[in-house]
Protein backbone atom coordinates (compact mmCIF):
# COMPACT_ATOMS: atom_id res chain seq x y z
CA UNK A 1 0.00 0.00 0.00
CA UNK A 2 1.52 3.30 -1.10
CA UNK A 3 1.49 6.39 1.10
CA UNK A 4 -1.13 8.96 0.21
CA UNK A 5 -0.02 12.56 -0.29
CA UNK A 6 -1.58 16.00 -0.62
CA UNK A 7 -1.32 16.07 -4.41
CA UNK A 8 -3.20 12.81 -4.89
CA UNK A 9 -5.95 13.93 -2.51
CA UNK A 10 -6.51 17.21 -4.32
CA UNK A 11 -6.43 15.36 -7.65
CA UNK A 12 -9.19 13.06 -6.40
CA UNK A 13 -11.26 15.96 -5.08
CA UNK A 14 -11.17 17.64 -8.49
CA UNK A 15 -13.66 14.97 -9.56
CA UNK A 16 -16.20 16.30 -7.02
CA UNK A 17 -18.36 18.98 -8.64
CA UNK A 18 -20.36 21.66 -6.82
CA UNK A 19 -23.88 21.16 -8.27
CA UNK A 20 -24.91 24.79 -8.75
CA UNK A 21 -21.69 26.27 -10.09
CA UNK A 22 -20.72 23.11 -12.01
CA UNK A 23 -17.08 23.46 -11.04
CA UNK A 24 -14.95 21.15 -8.95
CA UNK A 25 -14.54 21.98 -5.26
CA UNK A 26 -10.76 22.40 -5.57
CA UNK A 27 -11.04 25.00 -8.33
CA UNK A 28 -13.66 26.83 -6.25
CA UNK A 29 -11.30 26.96 -3.28
CA UNK A 30 -13.75 25.12 -1.04
CA UNK A 31 -11.25 22.63 0.43
CA UNK A 32 -9.20 23.68 3.48
CA UNK A 33 -7.53 22.34 6.61
CA UNK A 34 -6.16 19.17 5.01
CA UNK A 35 -4.57 16.83 7.55
CA UNK A 36 -2.88 13.52 6.68
CA UNK A 37 -1.56 11.04 9.22
CA UNK A 38 -0.73 7.40 8.52
CA UNK A 39 -3.50 7.01 5.98
CA UNK A 40 -6.08 8.94 8.00
CA UNK A 41 -7.28 12.00 6.10
CA UNK A 42 -9.30 14.97 7.33
CA UNK A 43 -10.34 18.17 5.60
CA UNK A 44 -13.03 20.84 5.57
CA UNK A 45 -15.38 21.94 2.77
CA UNK A 46 -16.42 25.56 3.04
CA UNK A 47 -20.02 26.22 1.98
CA UNK A 48 -22.64 28.93 2.22
CA UNK A 49 -24.39 28.50 5.61
CA UNK A 50 -27.75 28.61 3.84
CA UNK A 51 -26.73 25.63 1.68
CA UNK A 52 -25.32 23.43 4.44
CA UNK A 53 -28.01 20.74 4.44
CA UNK A 54 -28.12 20.58 0.65
CA UNK A 55 -24.35 20.06 0.53
CA UNK A 56 -24.38 16.83 2.55
CA UNK A 57 -24.31 14.65 -0.63
CA UNK A 58 -21.29 16.66 -1.81
CA UNK A 59 -19.54 16.02 1.52
CA UNK A 60 -20.16 12.29 1.20
CA UNK A 61 -18.96 12.30 -2.42
CA UNK A 62 -15.74 14.02 -1.34
CA UNK A 63 -15.17 11.46 1.41
CA UNK A 64 -15.70 8.58 -1.04
CA UNK A 65 -13.39 10.11 -3.66
CA UNK A 66 -10.53 10.27 -1.16
CA UNK A 67 -11.35 6.94 0.51
CA UNK A 68 -11.00 5.17 -2.84
CA UNK A 69 -7.35 6.27 -3.08
CA UNK A 70 -4.69 3.65 -2.45
CA UNK A 71 -3.17 4.11 1.00
CA UNK A 72 -6.18 5.80 2.62
CA UNK A 73 -7.61 4.00 5.66
CA UNK A 74 -10.17 6.58 6.84
CA UNK A 75 -11.59 9.92 5.75
CA UNK A 76 -13.34 12.65 7.73
CA UNK A 77 -14.76 15.57 5.75
CA UNK A 78 -16.65 18.32 7.56
CA UNK A 79 -18.84 21.13 6.25
CA UNK A 80 -17.95 24.61 7.45
CA UNK A 81 -19.43 28.00 6.67
CA UNK A 82 -16.69 30.61 6.76
CA UNK A 83 -17.87 32.10 3.50
CA UNK A 84 -21.02 34.11 3.00
CA UNK A 85 -23.50 34.32 0.15
CA UNK A 86 -22.87 35.25 -3.48
CA UNK A 87 -21.71 38.76 -2.53
CA UNK A 88 -19.26 37.37 0.05
CA UNK A 89 -21.61 38.40 2.85
CA UNK A 90 -23.16 36.16 5.46
CA UNK A 91 -26.90 35.97 5.61
CA UNK A 92 -28.18 38.91 7.65
CA UNK A 93 -24.77 40.63 7.70
CA UNK A 94 -24.86 44.42 7.48
CA UNK A 95 -22.61 46.38 5.17
CA UNK A 96 -19.36 47.39 6.85
CA UNK A 97 -19.71 44.87 9.69
CA UNK A 98 -17.20 42.04 10.16
CA UNK A 99 -18.38 38.63 9.05
CA UNK A 100 -19.39 36.27 11.83
CA UNK A 101 -18.61 32.61 11.06
CA UNK A 102 -21.62 30.33 11.22
CA UNK A 103 -21.71 26.57 11.58
CA UNK A 104 -23.00 24.76 8.51
CA UNK A 105 -26.35 23.13 9.18
CA UNK A 106 -26.17 19.42 8.55
CA UNK A 107 -29.24 17.23 8.13
CA UNK A 108 -30.81 15.61 11.14
CA UNK A 109 -29.40 12.23 12.00
CA UNK A 110 -27.61 10.75 15.02
CA UNK A 111 -26.81 14.29 16.15
CA UNK A 112 -30.49 14.95 16.77
CA UNK A 113 -33.38 16.32 14.81
CA UNK A 114 -33.76 20.03 14.24
CA UNK A 115 -36.90 22.11 14.17
CA UNK A 116 -39.97 20.84 15.94
CA UNK A 117 -39.06 17.16 15.86
CA UNK A 118 -38.21 15.13 18.94
CA UNK A 119 -34.52 15.35 19.73
CA UNK A 120 -32.46 12.18 19.64
CA UNK A 121 -29.37 11.34 21.62
CA UNK A 122 -26.20 12.59 19.93
CA UNK A 123 -24.37 9.44 21.00
CA UNK A 124 -26.67 6.41 21.10
CA UNK A 125 -25.80 4.03 23.92
CA UNK A 126 -24.23 6.71 26.12
CA UNK A 127 -26.31 7.22 29.27
CA UNK A 128 -24.74 10.49 30.40
CA UNK A 129 -22.24 13.12 29.23
CA UNK A 130 -20.34 15.31 31.71
CA UNK A 131 -18.13 18.24 30.72
CA UNK A 132 -15.04 18.97 32.81
CA UNK A 133 -14.31 22.65 32.27
CA UNK A 134 -12.34 25.65 33.47
CA UNK A 135 -12.34 29.31 32.64
CA UNK A 136 -8.61 29.34 31.87
CA UNK A 137 -5.76 27.03 30.98
CA UNK A 138 -3.11 25.62 33.26
CA UNK A 139 -5.35 24.64 36.17
CA UNK A 140 -4.97 20.87 35.69
CA UNK A 141 -8.33 20.22 34.04
CA UNK A 142 -7.07 17.44 31.74
CA UNK A 143 -5.28 15.69 34.60
CA UNK A 144 -8.44 15.91 36.66
CA UNK A 145 -10.58 14.55 33.80
CA UNK A 146 -8.29 11.58 33.25
CA UNK A 147 -8.07 10.55 36.89
CA UNK A 148 -11.79 11.03 37.54
CA UNK A 149 -12.63 8.90 34.50
CA UNK A 150 -10.24 6.15 35.58
CA UNK A 151 -11.65 6.26 39.12
CA UNK A 152 -15.11 5.71 37.62
CA UNK A 153 -13.79 2.68 35.74
CA UNK A 154 -12.66 1.32 39.12
CA UNK A 155 -16.26 1.80 40.33
CA UNK A 156 -17.29 -0.73 37.70
CA UNK A 157 -18.69 1.80 35.24
CA UNK A 158 -18.30 1.82 31.46
CA UNK A 159 -16.51 5.10 30.79
CA UNK A 160 -15.23 7.08 27.80
CA UNK A 161 -13.26 10.32 27.47
CA UNK A 162 -13.69 12.78 24.62
CA UNK A 163 -10.74 15.15 24.31
CA UNK A 164 -12.56 18.27 23.10
CA UNK A 165 -9.45 20.46 23.17
CA UNK A 166 -8.83 20.48 19.42
CA UNK A 167 -5.91 22.91 19.61
CA UNK A 168 -4.13 21.28 22.56
CA UNK A 169 -5.13 17.62 22.96
CA UNK A 170 -3.66 16.00 26.09
CA UNK A 171 -5.44 12.68 26.53
CA UNK A 172 -3.25 10.49 24.25
CA UNK A 173 -0.14 11.27 26.33
CA UNK A 174 -1.93 11.13 29.69
CA UNK A 175 -3.49 7.75 28.92
CA UNK A 176 -0.31 6.36 27.36
CA UNK A 177 -2.02 5.67 24.04
CA UNK A 178 -0.22 5.87 20.69
CA UNK A 179 -1.17 4.90 17.19
CA UNK A 180 -4.32 5.75 15.31
CA UNK A 181 -7.95 4.64 15.57
CA UNK A 182 -9.16 1.95 13.19
CA UNK A 183 -12.16 2.30 10.91
CA UNK A 184 -13.97 -0.77 9.59
CA UNK A 185 -15.77 1.18 6.85
CA UNK A 186 -13.77 4.38 6.46
CA UNK A 187 -16.52 6.42 8.11
CA UNK A 188 -16.99 5.27 11.71
CA UNK A 189 -13.90 5.24 13.95
CA UNK A 190 -13.29 2.82 16.77
CA UNK A 191 -12.13 4.70 19.89
CA UNK A 192 -8.71 4.00 21.33
CA UNK A 193 -8.57 2.29 24.72
CA UNK A 194 -6.28 1.84 27.72
CA UNK A 195 -6.87 0.96 31.38
CA UNK A 196 -10.43 -0.06 30.44
CA UNK A 197 -11.21 3.51 29.30
CA UNK A 198 -12.30 4.44 25.77
CA UNK A 199 -10.91 7.65 24.31
CA UNK A 200 -11.11 9.79 21.20
CA UNK A 201 -8.88 12.79 20.57
CA UNK A 202 -7.62 14.89 17.69
CA UNK A 203 -4.20 13.95 19.05
CA UNK A 204 -4.64 10.48 17.50
CA UNK A 205 -5.06 11.99 14.04
CA UNK A 206 -2.25 14.56 13.92
CA UNK A 207 1.34 14.60 15.12
CA UNK A 208 2.02 16.12 18.55
CA UNK A 209 3.95 19.05 17.07
CA UNK A 210 1.42 19.81 14.31
CA UNK A 211 -0.56 23.01 14.99
CA UNK A 212 -4.30 22.90 14.30
CA UNK A 213 -4.82 26.13 12.35
CA UNK A 214 -8.60 25.83 12.23
CA UNK A 215 -11.32 28.45 12.47
CA UNK A 216 -14.33 28.11 14.78
CA UNK A 217 -16.76 26.33 12.43
CA UNK A 218 -14.15 23.67 11.64
CA UNK A 219 -13.69 23.02 15.36
CA UNK A 220 -17.46 22.75 15.81
CA UNK A 221 -17.78 20.22 13.00
CA UNK A 222 -14.82 18.19 14.26
CA UNK A 223 -16.38 17.93 17.74
CA UNK A 224 -19.71 16.84 16.30
CA UNK A 225 -18.02 14.15 14.25
CA UNK A 226 -15.87 12.88 17.13
CA UNK A 227 -19.14 12.29 18.97
CA UNK A 228 -21.35 11.17 16.12
CA UNK A 229 -18.90 9.18 13.96
CA UNK A 230 -17.18 7.20 16.73
CA UNK A 231 -18.43 3.80 17.84
CA UNK A 232 -18.54 4.51 21.57
CA UNK A 233 -20.68 1.46 22.30
CA UNK A 234 -22.55 1.25 25.60
CA UNK A 235 -21.22 3.75 28.16
CA UNK A 236 -22.50 4.75 31.57
CA UNK A 237 -20.74 8.09 31.29
CA UNK A 238 -18.70 10.02 28.72
CA UNK A 239 -16.35 12.55 30.30
CA UNK A 240 -15.54 15.52 28.04
CA UNK A 241 -12.17 17.21 28.57
CA UNK A 242 -13.13 20.74 27.53
CA UNK A 243 -10.72 23.38 26.25
CA UNK A 244 -10.28 26.44 28.45
CA UNK A 245 -12.50 29.48 28.00
CA UNK A 246 -16.03 30.07 26.76
CA UNK A 247 -15.64 30.00 22.98
CA UNK A 248 -16.78 27.96 19.99
CA UNK A 249 -16.07 24.51 21.41
CA UNK A 250 -17.89 25.22 24.66
CA UNK A 251 -20.93 26.65 22.88
CA UNK A 252 -21.02 23.69 20.49
CA UNK A 253 -21.03 21.23 23.39
CA UNK A 254 -23.63 23.22 25.33
CA UNK A 255 -25.91 23.85 22.35
CA UNK A 256 -25.81 20.55 20.50
CA UNK A 257 -24.98 17.96 23.14
CA UNK A 258 -27.44 16.89 25.87
CA UNK A 259 -24.94 17.38 28.70
CA UNK A 260 -25.98 15.78 31.98
CA UNK A 261 -23.86 18.29 33.82
CA UNK A 262 -20.53 20.05 34.16
CA UNK A 263 -17.68 19.96 36.67
CA UNK A 264 -15.67 23.16 37.10
CA UNK A 265 -11.95 22.90 37.92
CA UNK A 266 -10.06 25.86 39.39
CA UNK A 267 -6.98 26.63 41.41
CA UNK A 268 -7.53 28.62 44.63
CA UNK A 269 -6.13 32.02 43.62
CA UNK A 270 -8.42 34.92 42.78
CA UNK A 271 -7.45 35.28 39.11
CA UNK A 272 -8.26 31.62 38.37
CA UNK A 273 -11.53 31.82 40.29
CA UNK A 274 -12.54 34.88 38.26
CA UNK A 275 -12.21 32.88 35.04
CA UNK A 276 -13.80 29.78 36.57
CA UNK A 277 -16.81 31.92 37.48
CA UNK A 278 -17.19 32.87 33.81
CA UNK A 279 -17.18 29.21 32.78
CA UNK A 280 -19.70 28.34 35.46
CA UNK A 281 -22.01 31.18 34.41
CA UNK A 282 -21.82 30.09 30.79
CA UNK A 283 -23.18 26.66 31.68
CA UNK A 284 -25.87 28.25 33.82
CA UNK A 285 -26.97 30.48 30.92
CA UNK A 286 -27.55 27.44 28.70
CA UNK A 287 -29.24 25.44 31.49
CA UNK A 288 -26.49 22.86 31.97
CA UNK A 289 -26.47 21.71 35.61
CA UNK A 290 -23.17 22.45 37.35
CA UNK A 291 -22.42 19.39 39.45
CA UNK A 292 -19.82 21.17 41.55
CA UNK A 293 -16.39 22.79 41.78
CA UNK A 294 -13.03 21.08 42.30
CA UNK A 295 -10.07 22.94 43.78
CA UNK A 296 -6.89 21.70 42.13
CA UNK A 297 -3.35 22.49 43.35
CA UNK A 298 -5.00 23.27 46.67
CA UNK A 299 -1.86 22.71 48.72
CA UNK A 300 1.70 21.45 48.43
CA UNK A 301 2.98 18.93 50.97
CA UNK A 302 6.76 18.68 51.04
CA UNK A 303 7.76 15.05 50.39
CA UNK A 304 10.82 15.46 52.65
CA UNK A 305 9.47 17.15 55.78
CA UNK A 306 5.69 16.94 55.36
CA UNK A 307 5.18 20.71 55.66
CA UNK A 308 2.01 21.98 53.95
CA UNK A 309 2.39 25.12 51.82
CA UNK A 310 -0.38 27.03 50.06
CA UNK A 311 1.46 28.13 46.92
CA UNK A 312 -1.69 29.21 45.09
CA UNK A 313 -3.61 30.19 48.24
CA UNK A 314 -6.10 27.74 49.70
CA UNK A 315 -9.86 27.35 50.07
CA UNK A 316 -10.79 29.86 47.38
CA UNK A 317 -12.82 27.38 45.34
CA UNK A 318 -14.70 26.21 48.44
CA UNK A 319 -15.64 29.79 49.31
CA UNK A 320 -16.65 30.45 45.70
CA UNK A 321 -18.84 27.35 45.69
CA UNK A 322 -20.58 28.47 48.86
CA UNK A 323 -21.09 31.97 47.45
CA UNK A 324 -22.62 30.63 44.24
CA UNK A 325 -24.70 27.92 45.87
CA UNK A 326 -22.67 25.14 44.24
CA UNK A 327 -21.40 21.94 45.80
CA UNK A 328 -17.70 21.86 46.62
CA UNK A 329 -16.61 18.44 45.36
CA UNK A 330 -13.15 18.32 46.92
CA UNK A 331 -9.56 19.50 46.79
CA UNK A 332 -6.51 18.00 45.12
CA UNK A 333 -2.86 18.72 45.97
CA UNK A 334 -0.06 20.14 43.85
CA UNK A 335 1.94 16.95 43.80
CA UNK A 336 4.99 15.75 41.89
CA UNK A 337 3.70 12.17 41.64
CA UNK A 338 0.48 13.34 39.97
CA UNK A 339 2.56 15.31 37.46
CA UNK A 340 5.04 12.51 36.77
CA UNK A 341 2.41 9.80 36.34
CA UNK A 342 0.31 12.02 34.07
CA UNK A 343 3.28 12.90 31.85
CA UNK A 344 4.27 9.23 31.76
CA UNK A 345 0.86 7.95 30.68
CA UNK A 346 0.32 6.14 34.01
CA UNK A 347 -2.21 8.29 35.91
CA UNK A 348 -1.92 7.99 39.67
CA UNK A 349 -5.37 6.43 40.05
CA UNK A 350 -4.12 3.33 38.22
CA UNK A 351 -0.38 3.45 38.97
CA UNK A 352 -0.75 4.00 42.74
CA UNK A 353 -4.43 3.58 43.70
CA UNK A 354 -3.63 3.38 47.41
CA UNK A 355 -2.03 6.84 47.51
CA UNK A 356 -3.85 9.66 49.27
CA UNK A 357 -3.92 11.64 46.02
CA UNK A 358 -5.59 8.77 44.16
CA UNK A 359 -8.15 8.37 46.95
CA UNK A 360 -9.00 12.08 46.64
CA UNK A 361 -9.78 11.60 42.94
CA UNK A 362 -11.81 8.48 43.72
CA UNK A 363 -13.92 10.30 46.32
CA UNK A 364 -14.72 13.11 43.89
CA UNK A 365 -15.50 10.63 41.10
CA UNK A 366 -17.89 8.70 43.35
CA UNK A 367 -19.74 11.90 44.26
CA UNK A 368 -19.97 13.04 40.62
CA UNK A 369 -21.39 9.67 39.57
CA UNK A 370 -23.84 9.74 42.47
CA UNK A 371 -25.19 13.07 41.24
CA UNK A 372 -25.25 11.94 37.60
CA UNK A 373 -27.04 8.69 38.46
CA UNK A 374 -29.63 10.65 40.43
CA UNK A 375 -30.31 12.84 37.39
CA UNK A 376 -30.62 9.80 35.12
CA UNK A 377 -33.05 8.13 37.54
CA UNK A 378 -35.03 11.35 37.91
CA UNK A 379 -35.70 12.02 34.25
CA UNK A 380 -33.23 10.60 31.80
CA UNK A 381 -30.90 12.49 29.51
CA UNK A 382 -31.15 16.24 29.31
CA UNK A 383 -32.21 17.76 26.00
CA UNK A 384 -29.75 20.12 24.38
CA UNK A 385 -30.92 23.75 24.72
CA UNK A 386 -31.26 26.39 22.05
CA UNK A 387 -29.03 29.43 22.42
CA UNK A 388 -30.62 32.77 21.54
CA UNK A 389 -28.30 35.74 21.06
CA UNK A 390 -29.92 38.96 22.29
Q: Which of 5-19, 109-123, 125-139, 285-299 has the lowest mean pLDDT?
A: 109-123
pLDDT of residue 203: 86
Integer distance in angstroms from the first to the last C-alpha of the chain? Answer: 54
Measured CA to CA in angstroms, residue 276 lies from 105, 136, 149, 368 at distances of 31, 7, 21, 18
Average of per-residue pLDDT across 151-170:
91
pLDDT score of 212 more than 70: no
Which structural domains are found in the chain, ordered by start?
1-108 (3.30.300.130), 129-379 (3.40.50.300)
Chain mean pLDDT for the chain: 79
Q: What percent of the chain is modeled with pLDDT above 70?
A: 79
pTM of the predicted protein model: 0.67
**List of residues 6+ apart from 276 with CB closer than 8 A:** 134, 135, 136, 139, 264, 265, 266, 293, 317, 320
pLDDT of 102 reads: 34
Identify the residue with better confidence: 134 or 15: 15
Indicate if the pLDDT at residue 270 is higher than 80: no
Tell me the C-alpha to C-alpha distance, in Å, between residue 114 and each of 5, 25, 110, 130, 227.
37, 27, 11, 23, 17
For 3-56, how does the pLDDT look when each residue is reduced to its tens digit (9 = 90+)? Answer: 788 999 999 999 999 998 899 999 999 998 788 877 888 888 888 867 767 888
- 237 or 122, which is more confident? 237
Percent share of the chain, pLDDT over 90: 36
Amino acid sequence: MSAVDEASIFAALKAVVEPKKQQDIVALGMVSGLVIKDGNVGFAIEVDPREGAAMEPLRKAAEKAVYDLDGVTSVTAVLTAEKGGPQGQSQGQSQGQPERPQAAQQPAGPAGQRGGGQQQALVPGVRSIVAVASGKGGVGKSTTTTNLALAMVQLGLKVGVLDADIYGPSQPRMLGISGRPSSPDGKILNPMENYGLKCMSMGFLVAEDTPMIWRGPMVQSALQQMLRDVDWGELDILMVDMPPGTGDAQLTMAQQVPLTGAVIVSTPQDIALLDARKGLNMFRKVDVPVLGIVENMSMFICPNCGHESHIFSHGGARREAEKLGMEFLGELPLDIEIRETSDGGRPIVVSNPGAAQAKAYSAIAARVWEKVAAQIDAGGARQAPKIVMQ
